[in-house]
């Protein structure tokens, strides 16, 4: 047993050292500091971190600790997955064969990886807590109580961090979920858990037993339940919210941490156990046959069969219809060839493209805007995500570097290929809208450029498709829930509330991202 614990410890330490050496870790800490700054606004701005019955809550340690812990549980649980989800994949690319030959057991390796993920997320949580405490010193004259922060964070965050750590290991152990599909599945899984947490909070009586909240890994249902029990109202909000300056500020004294609540949080820690057992059962242990089989499709069962069925069709269509142009020398041929390669490598994306044509021409215009276009944009964004980094991930960058024409116009090449695919998706809908509302059609085309530019620039800047996937899906989810109430969020004209200012804002954002990406690419090329 002691040898097994030693091997687990070695895996955790190796993961920690590898992650702390990455520049992205420093970027993550800077982002956390910025998020804490945004989430704890100055009350003089008319907004407050926590509002109860229209009154702002005094910025003391219990209030800021509870609110930032609740928001941090959601943020670190969701975005943390994308920061730790390539742990096994990196071993597969580098030392998988060596690990497979060692005496480390599968369960030891997976426990080590899960604990490595948990350690990294815990480190981010500690940095976030420190940033939140710093914001209290900036925003308030109330005395700082570090122990209050530690107790609230320890009460709310561990189940979310453990769940995310284990799911990251599970998805890398199950064929088809270790790539882009897993990124999408986790996003919707986490959002479903957030909705479940709200439902569980409503089903758990205030002051009574809380067995249902034992399923709340996000901690958000627990926060809502406990706050309702203390303040005796449903009118409460956490996050930068407006308040009535004429009302007396509310003094919040913190959670009580009764035995029922502590027990429910302890039960939530057990939720990931079945998921870990499933990961243990499905783990490939770097078996070349299983890893190779996994790489031949992005799913299992019917999904993989569908991929195999569609691949010859997409190869024929893109190969025969586009190869004539793609073989031409110059930028146009390279753009067509790159777009065709994206479709050949993603048969389900090609099927989604065909579906977008059907949706755009058949669906009534009112339904097309609020239902059809969001679906089209989600499929389109997932298809173009990561296309700019294809050569880097497959080790063929040298071929691009050997072509002076493509090397100097790399960003233009990748942007044009992504934009061509985006226009294929939204072109039919834009043509229909142009007949009745040319302005809305223009906004739609501008949104296609925004998606293509963001996908290309973020891939070049970060070296990963995950950043664009999670940011776009989060933004897309926010847009759908807003229902066009704020014109500045209706970037694609889904609800017809976007203005010329909205379109110009996203155009400026696109150009800024592309300028930053071009500078980063030139710096790397010169190195």
Residue 62 has pLDDT above 90, yes or no: yes
At residue 87, the pLDDT reads 82
At residue 400, the pLDDT reads 66
DSSP letter string over 214-253? GG-SSSHHHHHHHHHHHH--S-EEEEEEE--TTSPPB---
Contacts of 315 (CB under 8 A, 6+ apart): 344
pLDDT in tens, 415-441: 999 999 999 999 999 998 888 888 889
Q: How far apart are CA 284 and CA 287, in angstroms?
A: 6
3-class SS at 195? helix
Residue 158 has pLDDT above 90, yes or no: yes
3-class SS at 55? strand
What is the enclosing helix (H) or strand (E) of 209?
A: none
At residue 410, the pLDDT reads 85
Confidence of residue 362 (pLDDT cuts 50, 70, 90): confident
At residue 354, the pLDDT reads 85
At residue 210, the pLDDT reads 62
> Which one, of 278, 94, 82, 304, lies nearest residue 173 by Cα?
278
At residue 106, the pLDDT reads 85
User: What is the average pLDDT across 394-403?
Assistant: 67
At residue 333, the pLDDT reads 78
Residue 321 has pLDDT above 70, yes or no: no
The percent of residues in the chain predicted with pLDDT above 70, rounded, is: 86
Q: Which position has the higher pLDDT, 235 or 67?
A: 67
Q: Which range has highest mean pLDDT (6-20, 310-324, 383-397)?
A: 6-20
- Helices 331-345 and 410-436, packing angle to 10 deg: 80
Confidence of residue 31 (pLDDT cuts 50, 70, 90): confident
Q: How far apart are CA 429 and CA 68, in angstroms?
A: 42
User: What is the average pLDDT across 8-31?
Assistant: 83
Q: How far apart are CA 440 and CA 29, in angstroms?
A: 39
Q: Which position has the higher pLDDT, 18 or 326?
A: 18
CB-side exposure of 10: number of CA atoms within 13 Å? 11
Torsion of CA 84, 85, 90, 96, to 10 degrees: 120
At residue 506, the pLDDT reads 94
pLDDT in tens, 32-59: 888 888 888 888 888 899 999 889 999 9
pLDDT in tens, 286-309: 766 666 544 444 444 445 555 555
Least confident of 180-189, 305-314, 327-336, 379-388: 305-314
Summary mean pLDDT of the chain? 83
Residue 316 has pLDDT above 60, yes or no: no
At 414, list the tokens: 């990748």
Name the maximum alpha-carbon separation found in the chain: 73
User: What is the average pLDDT across 124-149?
Assistant: 92
Residue 282 has pLDDT above 90, yes or no: no
Sheet containing strand 236-242, edge to edge, reads: 55-56, 47-52, 236-242
Q: How far apart are CA 10 and CA 130, in angstroms?
A: 28
User: What is the average pLDDT across 82-100?
Assistant: 78
C-alpha pair distances (Å), 215 with each of 164, 207, 266, 508, 525: 14, 18, 10, 44, 50
Residue 310 has pLDDT above 70, yes or no: no
pLDDT in tens, 243-266: 888 889 999 888 888 888 888 899
């Amino acid at each position: 047993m002691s040898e097994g614990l030693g091997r687990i410890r070695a895996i955790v330490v190796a993961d920690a050292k590898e992650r702390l050496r990455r520049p992205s870790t420093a970027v993550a800490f800077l982002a956390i500091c910025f998020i804490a700054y945004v989430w704890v606004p100055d009350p003089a701005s008319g907004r407050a971190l926590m509002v109860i019955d229209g009154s702002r809550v005094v910025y003391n340690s219990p209030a800021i600790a509870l609110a930032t812990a609740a928001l941090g549980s959601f943020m670190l649980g969701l975005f943390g997955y994308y920061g730790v989800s390539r742990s096994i994949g990196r071993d597969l690319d580098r030392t998988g064969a060596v690990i497979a030959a060692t005496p480390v057991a599968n369960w030891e390796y997976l426990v080590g990886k899960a604990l490595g993920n948990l350690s990294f997320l815990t480190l981010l949580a500690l940095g976030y807590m420190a940033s939140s405490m710093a914001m209290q010193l900036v925003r308030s004259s109330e005395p700082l109580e570090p122990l209050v922060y530690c107790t609230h964070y320890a009460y709310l965050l561990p189940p979310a961090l453990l769940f995310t750590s284990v799911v990251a290991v599970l998805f890398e152990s199950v064929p088809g979920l270790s790539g882009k599909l897993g990124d999408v599945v986790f996003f919707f899984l986490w959002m479903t858990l957030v909705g479940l947490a709200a439902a569980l909070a409503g089903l758990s009586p205030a002051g009574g037993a809380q067995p249902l909240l034992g399923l709340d890994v996000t901690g958000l249902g627990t926060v809502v339940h406990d706050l309702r029990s203390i303040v005796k109202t449903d009118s409460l909000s956490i996050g930068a919210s407006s308040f009535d300056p004429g009302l007396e500020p509310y003094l919040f004294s913190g959670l009580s941490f009764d035995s029922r609540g502590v027990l429910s949080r302890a039960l939530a820690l057990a939720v990931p156990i079945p998921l870990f057992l499933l990961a243990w059962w499905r783990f490939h242990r770097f078996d070349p046959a299983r890893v190779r089989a996994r790489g031949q499709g992005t799913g299992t069962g019917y999904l993989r069969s569908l991929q195999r069925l569609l691949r010859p069709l997409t190869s024929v269509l893109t190969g025969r219809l586009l190869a004539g142009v793609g073989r031409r020398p110059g930028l146009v041929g390279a753009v067509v060839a790159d777009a065709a390669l994206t479709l050949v490598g993603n048969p389900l994306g090609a099927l989604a493209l065909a579906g977008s044509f059907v949706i755009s021409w058949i669906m009534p215009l009112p339904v097309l805007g609020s239902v059809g276009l969001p679906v089209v944009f989600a499929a389109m964004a997932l298809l173009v995500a990561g296309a700019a980094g294809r050569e880097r991930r497959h080790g063929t960058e040298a071929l691009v570097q050997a072509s002076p024409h493509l090397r100097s116009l790399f960003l233009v090449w990748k942007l044009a290929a992504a934009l061509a695919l985006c226009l294929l998706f939204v072109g039919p809908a834009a043509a229909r809208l142009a007949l009745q509302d040319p302005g809305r059609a223009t906004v739609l085309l501008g949104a296609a450029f925004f998606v293509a530019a963001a996908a290309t620039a973020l891939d070049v800047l970060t070296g990963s498709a995950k950043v664009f996937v999670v940011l776009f899906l989060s933004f897309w989810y926010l847009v759908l829930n807003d229902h066009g109430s704020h014109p500045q969020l209706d970037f694609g004209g889904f609800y017809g509330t976007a203005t010329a200012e909205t379109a110009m804002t996203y155009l400026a954002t696109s150009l800024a991202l592309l300028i930053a990406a071009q500078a980063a690419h030139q710096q790397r090329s010169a190195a």
